[in-house]
Each structure stands twice: as C-alpha cells, then as structure tokens.
Amino acid sequence: MIELSRDITFGQYINNGSVLTRMDPRAKLLCAILLIALVSTIGSFIAFGICLLACIILHWMSRIPVAYVLRGFRAIAIFLLFIYIIEVLFYYSPTQHTTLIWQWGIFNVSWEGIVRNLLIMVRVIFLYYLSSMLMFATSLVDLTDGSEALLSPLQKLGIPVNAFIMVLVIAFKFVPIFVAEIERLIKAQSARGVRFDKGNFLQRATKLGPLLIPLFLSGFRRAEALSIAMEARGYAGAVRGWRRSKRRQMHLQRFDTVALVFIIMFCVVTIIVNLIAPF
C-alpha cells in the first residue's frame, strides 16, 4: 500500500513546543529569508559546510526527528539525481580549461561539470530543507500574520498584500491536503483490485493517470468552499478603509532579537568565507 502522507512531509505544521515554534513569526520569516538568500548566493563547499553546521543547530532547536525530515527528501531525491545526471552529461564550457573525463558523441563528462552541478544540487537541497523547516515550525495563522506585517508598507502603494499573502499561504498549505486526497483515492482504487506498487515506472504512472480528474475536481470543490467561507466572513473588504483585525498582537522577545542578530552575523561571516575559500 502506498502511503504518501508518510513520504511527503512538506507543508505540515508540527506544534511540539520547541524554541522555533514559539518564535515571533516576523523574526522567523526574516531569519528564513536571510538564510535562503545566503544559500542562493554562496558557491563554495566550505561555505556550504558552515551552512550545514548551522542547519544541524537549527534542527536540534526544532526538536523534530531526523527520520521525519529525511522522509520528505524521498520525493525529490530521484528527481534531483536524474537532473544531475542530465546536467553532467550535457554540460559544456566554452573555456579552454575544461578537464574532460569522458566523451562519446554529444555526451561529455568533465570535472568542472561534476563540481558545478554538484554545487547546484547541494544548493537545491539546502533550499528545500530551509523551506520545509519554516513550514514545520510555523502555523498557517503565524505565517500569514508575519508575512502581512513585513509587507505592510507595500499596502500604502496600493498593492493588495493581504490577498497576495493569503493566496500564497493557502497554496503552500494545500500540499498536505492534496497528498491526503491522493492517498485516499489510491486506497479506494486498491480496494477495487488496482495494484499501484506493481510494475515498472511507466506502468505505475499509467495507473496514477486516472486519479488526476477526481483530484482536480476535489481541489476545485475545496477552493470553492473556502472562497465562499471567506466571503461569508467579510474577508473581501470592499469598503474603503477596511482593515482586518487580529486576535493576538505580535511582540518581539529577547530571543527573537538575539536570533536575528546572530543570523545576520552568520550570513556576513559565511559570505566572507565564501569569498576567500579556495574551493
């Protein structure tokens, strides 16, 4: 039996009372944005090693089991491996310093292609981990309130920040809902004699094809019910000067400030190491 909810953990909120869960959502989002920008900027293995140490500390503070986090990488591991092989085989550098290892027709493997594409794959893994950790430690309400508070200055320019943030957050949080829906459809088809765990890759993909139509219909029904519920609660805000109230006020604590300062210092040090690192 295929249980996707155990393998796809992205978007699930774990309220275990950890330090990361209790952080102010604004400080948490700023720290996540800084770390994501840092990982997207650096390009040396030493700098990524420093980021790995930071992720280990971050994971220790989250109090989330390692097996649970690694379980979510199964969904993208095969895809990343396939992309890496394609990138290495078709990597081409116009410089004369390319160290060619193997070549056959249009396929060529070079040392520069292996290293460069390995850095790209490591960057993607770090980005996926940081995004997953943000979803694990932040609820839907906190993520919405924190994002709206950080982007509130854009509201004065006429940009619909509230609607944009709500759509973005709902899109992220619909991931576990769709996973549960796919799992329900698979179990229903398995009860009728369809074996999704038998056959090769193409045969399994062919069996999953008929599930797309009921999945989309279920998604449209959920979206329609959600839109009706939001309109019934006056979320649209058609009146000039309308402003949505908050049930609780956000306050920065001492730990939030210390964590934000530490992340800024960590980003500066890592960038300096990335600039002077030999590899």
Structure letter (DSSP) for residue 104? E
**pLDDT values of the chain reduced to their tens digit, one per residue, 279 residues:** 455 555 666 667 888 888 888 888 889 999 999 999 999 999 888 999 999 999 999 999 988 888 888 877 877 888 888 888 888 877 665 555 667 677 776 777 777 778 888 888 999 999 999 988 888 888 877 888 888 888 888 877 777 777 788 787 777 777 777 777 777 877 777 777 777 667 666 766 677 777 778 878 888 888 888 888 877 877 665 555 556 666 667 778 888 999 999 999 999 999 999 988 777
The alpha carbon torsion through 55, 58, 60, 65 (nearest 10 deg) reads: -70
Nearest to 29 by CA among 136, 143, 152, 163: 143
- The partner residues of 109 in beta bridges, in order of sequence, read 102
Rg from Cα positions in the chain:
23
Give me the residue label for tokens 């991931």.
175
Could you count the other beta carbons within 10 Å of the beta carbon of residue 247?
Answer: 6
First to last CA, the chain: 45
Read off the pTM: 0.76
Nearest to 168 by CA among 135, 142, 144: 144
